[in-house]
C-alpha cells in the first residue's frame, strides 16, 4: 500500500511539475531571431576574432540583430560575405575588399642583428620583454621566440632558422592574432599587393641603429628624397629617426629603396624574412622552458 501511495504521489508531482514548466516556458519564453542561426551556419566556425567579435556566434548575432557589416569575416572572405548577404536579403555593395596579410617589420635575424647574450628564459616574447631578459641588442627588434607563431591558428607564420618570422600570404587570413601576440608591435596588416615597406621600427639614431643591426633604418632619408624626386613626397616620410611608408594611400614604390644602404627599405620578396624562410626549414613550436637569466 505504501509503495502504491508513493507511486501515485510521484505521478501527481510529475504532472504538477510538467504543468508548471509548461506554463513557465510560455510565460518566460524569449523569441529569438532565426537569422542569427542562419548567419552562424554560413560562418567558418573558427572563432578567430578577426571580425572584432569573440566568436562566430557573437558576430552572427551582431549582424542579424544590430545590423553589423556583413564583410568582417576575414577567414571566409568574399564567399562568406556573399552567403551572409543572401541570408540577410541584402546586396553586396561595391568591389570585394583587397586581401590583407600580416607583415613583419623587422629583418634583425641572427645574421644581421647583434646578440651579445643567449636567452634561456620562457619561450615567450612578452615574458622576455617584461623581464628585460633578452639576447638581442636592438630594443625595438623581433625577439625571435615565436609567440606570433604559436598565436596563429592557421599555420601561416613560421620562424626561420635565422630566427625571424615569415608570413605565408596564401595561408594568412588577417585574423590579427599575431599582431596582438607581438609585444613590440612589429606585425601589421596590409594589402597583399603592396610590398614596399621600411622593414624596421627602430627609433635609435643612425649610428647606434647600424651598430646593433645591419638591416636597421639609419635615418639617411635616401628613400624620402627618392619619393620627393618622384613628385610623391607623402609616400615616404620621417617619423623621428625612422623612415615610414604612408599606409593611407600605399603609393610608395619599391625603387625608392634601391639606394638604401642597409636594405631596410625593400619589397616583401627581397626582405630577409622572405629569403631566410625559403632557404631554411621553419622551426617547430618550442615548449616553454625555465628562466635562467645570464
**Domains defined along the chain, listed by start:** 34-88 (1.10.15.40), 100-279 (3.30.70.20)
Helix (H, G, I), strand (E, B) or coil at 48: coil
Q: What is the pLDDT of residue 145?
A: 93
Q: Determine the Cα–Cα distance for residues 243 and 265; give it in Å rounded to an integer.
A: 9
Q: Which value, to the nearest 10 degrees, does the dihedral of the CA atoms of residues 149, 151, 152, 157 take? A: -20
Q: What is the pLDDT of residue 271?
A: 57
Q: What is the pLDDT of residue 75?
A: 86
Q: Among all chains, which residue has been given the C-alpha cell 510521484?
A: 10
Partners of 197 in the β-ladder: 266
Q: What is the pLDDT of residue 216?
A: 96
Of the candidates 267, 285, 294, the residue with the CA atom closest to the CA atom of residue 123: 285
Q: Output the pTM of the full model.
A: 0.74
Find the angle CA(133)-CA(178)-CA(285) to the nearest 5 degrees.
65
Q: What is the pLDDT of residue 86?
A: 87
Q: What is the pLDDT of residue 277?
A: 43
**C-alpha cell of residue 74:** 576575414
Q: What is the pLDDT of residue 279?
A: 44
Local mean pLDDT, 10-residue blocks, the chain (294 residues): 73 71 63 83 88 91 89 86 87 68 93 87 91 88 94 92 90 92 96 93 96 96 97 97 95 95 83 49 43 39
**C-alpha cell of residue 41:** 551556419
* In contact, 282 and 164? CB cutoff 8 Å: no
**C-alpha cell of residue 270:** 627581397
Q: Among all chains, which residue has been given the C-alpha cell 644581421?
A: 112
Q: Determine the Cα–Cα distance for residues 255 and 195; give it in Å rounded to an integer.
A: 11
CB atoms closer than 10 angstroms to residue 30: 4
Q: What is the pLDDT of residue 115?
A: 87
Q: What is the pLDDT of residue 8?
A: 72
Q: Determine the Cα–Cα distance for residues 205 and 19; give it in Å rounded to an integer.
A: 79
Give the CA distances from residue 32 to residues 37, 89, 228, 284, in Å, rounded to whole numbers and listed in that order: 9, 18, 58, 45
* In contact, 221 and 243? CB cutoff 8 Å: yes
Amino acid at each position: 500500500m505504501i509503495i502504491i501511495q508513493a507511486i501515485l504521489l510521484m505521478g501527481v508531482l510529475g504532472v504538477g511539475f510538467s504543468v508548471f514548466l509548461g506554463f513557465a516556458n510560455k510565460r518566460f519564453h524569449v523569441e529569438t531571431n532565426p537569422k542569427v542561426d542562419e548567419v552562424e551556419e554560413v560562418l567558418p566556425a573558427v572563432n578567430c576574432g578577426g571580425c572584432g567579435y569573440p566568436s562566430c556566434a557573437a558576430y552572427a548575432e551582431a549582424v542579424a540583430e544590430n545590423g553589423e557589416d556583413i564583410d568582417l569575416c576575414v577567414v571566409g572572405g568574399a564567399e562568406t560575405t556573399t552567403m551572409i548577404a543572401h541570408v540577410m536579403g541584402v546586396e553586396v555593395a561595391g568591389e570585394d575588399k583587397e586581401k590583407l596579410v600580416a607583415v613583419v617589420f623587422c629583418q634583425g635575424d641572427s645574421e644581421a642583428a647583434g646578440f651579445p647574450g643567449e636567452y634561456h628564459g620562457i619561450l615567450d616574447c612578452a615574458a622576455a620583454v617584461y623581464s628585460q631578459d633578452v639576447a638581442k641588442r636592438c630594443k625595438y627588434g623581433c625577439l625571435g621566440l615565436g609567440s606570433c607563431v604559436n598565436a596563429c591558428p592557421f599555420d601561416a607564420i613560421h620562424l626561420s632558422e635565422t630566427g625571424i618570422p615569415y608570413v605565408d600570404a596564401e595561408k594568412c587570413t588577417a585574423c590579427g592574432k599575431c599582431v596582438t601576440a607581438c609585444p613590440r608591435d612589429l606585425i601589421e596588416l596590409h594589402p597583399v599587393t603592396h610590398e614596399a615597406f621600411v622593414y624596421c621600427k627602430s627609433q635609435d639614431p643612425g649610428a647606434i641603429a647600424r651598430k646593433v643591426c645591419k638591416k636597421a633604418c639609419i635615418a639617411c632619408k635616401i628613400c624620402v628624397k627618392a619619393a620627393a624626386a618622384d613628385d610623391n613626397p607623402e609616400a615616404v616620410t620621417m617619423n623621428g629617426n625612422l623612415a615610414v611608408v604612408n599606409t593611407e594611400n600605399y603609393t610608395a614604390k619599391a625603387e625608392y629603396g634601391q639606394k638604401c644602404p642597409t636594405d631596410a627599405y625593400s619589397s616583401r620578396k627581397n626582405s630577409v624574412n622572405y629569403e631566410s624562410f625559403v632557404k631554411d626549414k621553419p622551426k617547430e613550436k618550442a615548449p616553454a622552458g625555465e628562466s635562467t637569466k645570464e
